[in-house]
Structure 1
Amino acid sequence: MEPRFLLMADVAEQLNVSTSQVYHMVRSGELPAIKVGGRGQWRIERSKLEEYIQRKYAETAEWVRANPLIGETDDELA
């Protein structure tokens, strides 16, 4: 059984970004998280990470629709 909550380092690894980038996403409210323990360590619920990823897919799809490639073929992009 996978743990319900992830460390920031785990999230960074899954998203292939730095831990400081995850910290910024959490502190900005972009990625929901909680602080636990006496030292206030951040934890991200696995389901919230999945929701974040799905939201980013939707935002990216909308951006792609709003910014179509004009005059470029797939061969030119490779």
Structure 2
Amino acid sequence: MSSRFLPLADVADELNVTESQVYHLVRSGDLAAIKIGGRGQWRVERAKLEEFIERKYAETAAWVADNPLLARDATE
């Protein structure tokens, strides 16, 4: 059974980005996380990570729809 909460390093591995990029996503509010423990370590709930990924797919699809490759299509 996988853990409900992931440390930022594991989130970075899942997204194939750096840990500092994940920290920025958390601090900007783009990726929901909680701070726990005496040293205030960040944890991201697996469900929140999946919601973030789905939101990014939707944002990317909207961007692609709004930015067609007209120049490339005209040369083919």
Q: TM-score range by the shorter chain?
A: over 0.9
TM-score, normalised relative to structure 1: 0.91
Q: Give the residue type in structure 1 aligned to 2:62.
A: E
Per the alignment, residue 46 of structure 2 pairs with: 46
**TM-score, normalised relative to structure 2:** 0.94
Deviation at 1:71, TM superposition (A): 3.5
Report matched runs for 1:61-72 at 5 Å.
61-72=61-72
Q: 1:33 maps to which residue?
A: 33
Root-mean-square deviation over aligned CA pairs: 1.1
Query: SS of 1:6's equivalent?
Result: strand
Deviations 1:27-76 (A, max 9, x none): 00000000000000000000000000000000000000000001325xx7
Q: Which runs of 5+ in 2 are unaligned?
A: none
Equivalence for 2:59: 59
Length, aligned pairs only: 74
Unaligned runs of 5+ in 1: none
Mapped to 2, the partners of 1:71 and 1:40 lie a distance apart of 50
Which structure shows the higher helix fraction?
Answer: 2
Runs of 4 or more, structure 1, over 4 Å off, are none
